[in-house]
Structure formats: C-alpha cells, structure tokens
Structure 1
C-alpha cells in the first residue's frame, strides 16, 4: 500500500503528515509506504491514498487515488479517521 503526504514544496507539512501517518499505521499494525512529496510530483505518482491540506485536496481531487483533506497534520485521530474511511482497514 502506498500513501502520499502532499504539501507545496514536499518537505514541510508533508513531512509532519507523513510522521503522523506512520505512527497511526504502526498503531493499527498496517504495513504501508508513506512518502512525502510536493503537489506537482503527486499528480503523476501511483498511490492508494493521498493525504494533504484542504486547498491541495481540491486540486488533486478526481485523480487516480482518493484524496483526504487533513486540517491538523499532527492529529493522529484525524489521520486515523481518514485512513479508515479511504482504505480497507
């Protein structure tokens, strides 16, 4: 399973979101590859789910992977909810 954590430049909020997703996946016992990247790169990558902020979620919607908008990148509860709603967990 591949999950993208997306922000504007690929090394700010996406890294925080990646770390949060990694913690949640570990807690759930799910093995997945979570990669932080910028929005330009994300559009051309294969993924099972894209996690990002609300603004980028609008831009990435309608692509090959479901997109979940995360308001608080450090919220494990919010990320867990998004993972469970968009993946078979």
Structure 2
C-alpha cells in the first residue's frame, strides 16, 4: 500500500503531512506502508493508492482517484482520524 501527501510545490507542507502520516501509521503499527510527497503537477494516480491534500487543492487533484481532503494540514487529530479510516477501508487494521 502507498499513501502520498500533495501540495502546490511539493516541498514544505506535503513533506510535513508525509512525516505526520508516518507518525500516525507508526502509532497504528502499520510501518510497512510507503508514504511519499508530491507537488500537484507531479502527482499521478499510479504513484499511490491514497492521496492526502489540503482543502485548497481538492478540486485540482480529483483525477488522482482516492483523495482524502484535510480541513487543516496541521491538525494531527484530523489526520489521525482520516488515516485510521483509510486503514480500516483497506482492511489493514
């Protein structure tokens, strides 16, 4: 399974979300999931099973497939809930 964080430039915010996703996955004992980050122009459906994006990019990334929109990219509780929901949907927990 692969997860990805996407932002406008592929630098700061997507990298931060990537690191936070890895933290949540470690808490859940799901260390085998690959997590990367991309800019919106480089992200492609084949690069991940699930893409996490901020609300400002929601309309720009619908072509990616399974997109999880974050209301706040810095809210760990929201991210924890949404990563857990994805893990449950994919029968990982």
Q: How does the TM-score come out when normalised to structure 2?
A: 0.81
Root mean square deviation of aligned Cα: 1.7
Match of residue 41 from structure 1: 42
How far did 1:75 drift? 2.4
User: Structure 1 residue 85: deviation in Å?
Assistant: 2.5
Q: Secondary structure at the match of 2:48?
A: coil
The answer for the alignment partner of 1:2 in structure 2 is 2
Deviation at residue 62 of structure 1 after TM alignment = 4.6
In the TM superposition, structure 1's runs of 4+ consecutive aligned residues that sit over 4 Å from their partners are none
Instruction: Give the aligned length.
Output: 88
What is the CA deviation profile of residues 29-77 of structure 1, one whole-angstrom value per residue up to 9, with x for unaligned ones? 01211101100111354311100111212221253x3111112223222
Instruction: Structure 2 unaligned segments of length 5 or more: list them.
Output: none
**More displaced 10-residue stretch of structure 1: 74-83 or 26-35:** 74-83
Unaligned residue ranges in structure 1 (runs of 5+) = none
TM-score normalised by the chain length of structure 1:
0.84
